[in-house]
């Protein structure tokens, strides 16, 4: 199994509070991704990173920011949490040295976030 | 715009029978990868099988095979000899080229229930 951990695994917070989710990998993979999973929508990309300090937006990036200061860590921050950000958040990693579309994206265990 | 469509929200299959889960995709890129992931009730995302857009033969991985029909833009998952442990949510996903971030675009998923 790919070495990906997410913390916390569960979190309950109140509307308006900042929240940071952490993704940590031990695979030294270049690409890291944050997705959210909601019923009826599958998984949707929030932000991704293609290297240290290199990040870009996904399709549902509003209200989220990310940072990657080290290869192994990718942080997702909700600056001011809203109830619409209640979701399951998945981190994923992949390596692109061969630039092959067949390289699998491996997923972390997920973080369940409830915003009250 | 790239899109994945899974038209079967839920399916039932008898244990030991084969089942096909439908997936159609839309993209104008000549290079793409197609993936299937399994998500059991425990929540983790498990990679099952991959098909590249230039692959001539259908991918197979044990009891899983991918019926790739490029002209129809379909990538159906076939599970042979269903087992009770196959009950889960199944997601079809398309990977875009790395010059577009290498992200995965997911369908909405199909919930498969295997009956004893």
The whole-number pLDDT of residue A1 equals: 60
CA distance B110 to chain A (A): 10
The whole-number pLDDT of residue A101 equals: 58
Tokens of B96: 């875009």
Q: Are B91 and B37 in contact (CB under 8 A)?
A: yes
Q: Which of residues 43-62 of A touch B (CB under 8 A)?
A: 43-45, 48, 50, 56, 58
Which of these, A107, A108, A18, lies nearest to A64 by C-alpha position? A18
Q: Are A87 and A106 in contact (CB under 8 A)?
A: no
| A86 CB within 8 Å of a chain B CB | no
- Residue B97 gets which letter from DSSP? P
Whole-number Å distance between alpha carbons of A84 and A98:
38
Alpha helix segments (H runs only) across chain A: none
For A16-44, what is each residue's pLDDT tens digit? 999 999 999 998 888 999 999 998 778 99
């Amino acid at each position: 199994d790919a070495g990906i951990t997410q913390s916390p695994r569960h979190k309950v917070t109140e509307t308006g509070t900042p929240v940071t989710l952490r993704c940590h990998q031990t695979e030294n993979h270049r690409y890291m991704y944050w997705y959210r999973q909601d019923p009826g929508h599958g998984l949707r990309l929030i932000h991704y990173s293609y290297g240290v300090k290199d990040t870009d937006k996904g399709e549902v990036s509003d209200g989220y920011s990310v940072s990657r200061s080290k290869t192994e860590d990718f942080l997702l921050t909700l600056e001011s949490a809203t109830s619409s950000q209640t979701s399951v958040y998945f981190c994923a990693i992949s390596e692109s040295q061969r630039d092959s579309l067949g390289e699998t994206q491996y997923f972390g265990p997920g973080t369940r976030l409830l915003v009250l | 715009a790239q899109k994945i469509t899974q038209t079967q929200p839920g399916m039932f299959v008898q244990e030991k029978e084969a089942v096909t889960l439908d997936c159609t995709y839309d993209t104008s890129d000549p290079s793409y990868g197609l993936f299937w992931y399994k998500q059991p009730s425990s929540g983790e995302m498990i990679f099952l099988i991959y098909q590249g857009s230039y692959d001539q033969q259908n991918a197979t991985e044990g009891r899983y095979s991918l019926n790739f029909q490029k002209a129809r833009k379909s990538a159906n998952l076939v599970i042979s000899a269903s087992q009770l442990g196959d009950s889960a949510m199944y997601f079809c996903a398309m990977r875009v080229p790395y010059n577009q971030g290498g992200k995965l675009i997911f369908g909405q998923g199909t919930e498969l229930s295997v009956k004893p």
